[in-house]
Structure 1
Amino acid sequence: MSASRTPEQRRDADSRGREGEAQAAMFLVQQGWQVVAERVKTKAGEIDLIVRRTGLVAFVEVKWRARAASLADAIDERRLKRVAAAVEGVWQDYATNGEDIRIDVILLAPGRPPTHIENAWMPLG
């Protein structure tokens, strides 16, 4: 991790993150998903996208990197545990009809199609 960022660097990163989330949402809609929520904040952290299709609700972590080579390090167990903790607090609000739930990851980089990792983290219980 680098030294602390300037306010401008944080704004730029936030802007890139929002663009990546919008790109991921479009990709998922094209795959037949319905976006039901974006940037859901919980005590444990933020869930980038929540999407649904028949019988399934997916909580999606979106990672954007300027270089495709950096995507290999974009997601790790620590980050996925944080997402899982956030999902734990809200999944009941979205899987209201007995749908299965899962945590997915979308990896994005310029010049390459999105990579959709399904079931990136299997919730316990």
Structure 2
Amino acid sequence: MTGRPHASPANADERRKRLQRGRWSELLAAAALMAKGYRIIGRNVKTRAGEIDIIAVRGNLLAFVEVKRRPTQEAAEAAVGGRQAQRIRNAADYWLARRPRYHHHEQRFDLVLLVPRRWPRHIPDGL
């Protein structure tokens, strides 16, 4: 047999559910940031270096935000490793290089953690 095996319908359903939960989580995270006075300028921003979940601005602050949803707070905090943080930083550099309007903004790499039945937790400089 050559090539990739075909995904079973159960796997496709589970993938679809994960994507839907991810979109919902990012929407909740964006709402929490907007409640804190941020303006969302990008969601699911794809660059050659990787994807940025949310790009938000408040005054002269430009925040590149990673969103993590897990069953517990501890699992959410542990979900971002050094390699992933570096990928996000590289993606932010790539995005910023093409947008001179934001070159003079202060930059920050934040986390928004989501756990069931709790308001999203925003961690400034969390990466």
Q: How large is the RMSD of aligned CA atoms in angstroms?
A: 2.0
Provide closer, same or farther for how the CA distance between residues 95 and 49 of structure 1 changes in structure 2, counting only shifts above 3 A: farther
In structure 1, the residue matched to 2:4 is: none
Task: Classify the secondary structure of the residue corresponding to 1:112.
Answer: coil
Secondary structure of 2:125's counterpart equals strand
1:85 has 2:86 as partner: no
- Secondary structure of 2:95's partner? helix
Contact 1:64 1:107 in 2 (8 A): yes
Question: In structure 2, what is the equivalent of residue 37 of structure 1?
Answer: 42
**1:19 CA drift (Å):** 0.3
Confirm or deny that 1:72 pairs with 2:100.
no
Aligned-pair distance for 1:95? 6.2
Structure 1 segments of 4 or more deviating over 6 A? none
Q: Which runs of 5+ in 1 are unaligned?
A: none
Does residue 1:24 correspond to 2:13, yes or no?
Answer: no
The alignment of Structure 1 onto Structure 2 pairs a total of residues equal to 118
CA shift, 1:17, in A, is 0.6
Query: How does the TM-score come out when normalised to structure 2?
Result: 0.83
Whose radius of gyration is greater, 1 or 2? 2
TM-score (norm 1): 0.84
User: Are residues 1:113 and 2:119 paired?
Assistant: yes
Unmatched runs of 5 consecutive residues or more in structure 2:
1-6
